[in-house]
A and B are shown apart, each in its own frame.
Chain A
Amino acid sequence: MIEVRLRIPLSEFELSVALDLAGPVTALFGPSGVGKTTLLEAVAGLRRPLEGEIRIDGELIYSSERRFSLPPERRRFGLVPQDALLFPHLDVRANLLYGFRNGGALSLPSVAEALEIGHLLDRRPSRLSGGERQRVALARALLSQPRLLLLDEPVASLDVELKDRVLPYVKRVRDLHRIPTLFVSHDAADVLSLADEVVVLDRGSVVDRGTPRTVLTHPVARGAFFKGRFENLLESRVLGHEPEEGLTRVETERGLALSIPYREAPLGERVLLGLLAEDVLLAKEAPVGLSARNVFEGSIRAIEEQGGVAMVEVDAKDSIYVRLSHGAVRSLELRVGLPVHLIVKTHSIHRLS
């Protein structure tokens, strides 16, 4: 159990959180610049909060009231920063052994094997690829026998292909070593595949928390994603396949039928689908002669405008969020309650799990 209560003033807002995290794997979720990394650094002891208290399994780590702060070297929290931060003047082996602590469950050969970095031991960090760096940084943190792992966007800086290679390692670490983990992410798919619990941060405050599926498919987490790329998450079931058309038919829990790109999957399998709000078209009248496969009727439940953009929530059995420009909302004279049609290309919908 990790108890974190912190206040840290940032340049534009104040980070202020009070959390009890049961884990074992907790995700801090939210768009960039809301204080996720700051929170992680404060827990690691790299940044002094204005006030607050941190405990792990009841042990006091930091308390502003008692003027107590356990120095970072005695916290035993393994930090893996977003950019890996390997020691450039040391080879991989020396990096891994920098914080090595004897007597723990983890040894260099076992960790190197699990993360497939055994062949890199004599290399300099400058001769490693991005995915290799992340794995070495993770191994280095593990070998210090941490009682808590702190991962900052463990896979975010990687492209999709690399991500598919690193993610399994993070999962393996989670399953093999059972080290409580707090990780930062702005990617819903990563959170879904790794975390037991998710905490949604926005401008320094906790706006929602719960299991990843309930939080991320629920509209409350949405406010946080106004600025960034917002993804509609649709919990669905496979209904049938039309391989000759390259399609798989699915239906969401609330009965919205969708066509997605063909993918082998047994009938009835549950899949989680992602659909970017900016990939949805909105029409006031029923469109005709369209190539897009997914056209559904619905009505506008809410319109939220901020900056030059608007998020339109459409009730089409499921709630679908559509991102439009301010001007589009004006010229179409959109208002709450108005019946509309949504148009989605098959290939705009992708599987997250």
Chain B
Amino acid sequence: MRYAYFPGCSAESTARDMHQSTLAVAGALGIELIEPKGWTCCGATAGHQTDRVLAASLPAANLVKIQNMGLDCIVNCAACYNRMKVANHEISTDSDIRSSVADALGQNYDGSVKVRHLIEVLLEDVGVKKIKASVKNSLSGLKVACYYGCLLVRPPKVVNFDNPENPTSLDKLVKMTGAESIDWPCKIECCGGGLSLSRTDVVVNLTDSILGMAKDSGADCVAVSCPMCQVNLDLRQQDIKKQNGKDYQMPVVYITQLLGLALGIGPDKLGFNKLMVPASKVLEKVI
């Protein structure tokens, strides 16, 4: 199993833990990940809020590089995944966008590189059987609220990821670790995404309601697969305490961190020390 792996800019900053745990889990499950040389930013929310051609061209610059590698593209950051899927869709369905992108890149791109989220590859290519057989530590007794956020599941017709209103992919992976995935109503609510710095007040209110629901539903931790969701839910707990007076102390971990623990990988190799709210409730299951 060989794939081109697009880490995304967060992998070099706020989501080093996501990047580290992705590589560790891939290694343990025999998935070969090759970074495209010279990969660049997907443009994120700022890109599509500014200009449609810019928003399609920035991901396309990477997709062209991956096309030359002859591999499918794997992304773990939900935001990059979304931008790449949307760019492929726009380029392959809108001839004006396609020619403007070709002009911007200086080469033609047809929108055909297959973009997949790591979760899809784990469930479809590696498979439940192999993952279950590789589990060394059961996380039994741990209650996990799986949080998908927006960008993994929307727009449904373009990303075509799971059920857009009640996705279960993360829940399936959590169950493979021996942990319990709880039923709760905030799976696809928005954390405020890119407004984290510009409208911190909005993000604090949105994350407060999500974390409050996770707590009331009995979760020991929240599992995510998006660096923006992780930062907003983890880092902003300090601000929720200041602004709204609630102290959740709710660990927010990447699904690859949970999976890594179950596969017997040490917490130091999964970036657990980088979380703002310590994941002691999670780690005590393996120590």
Partners in one complex: no
Chain B residues with CB under 8 Å of chain A are: none
Chain A residues with CB under 8 Å of chain B are: none
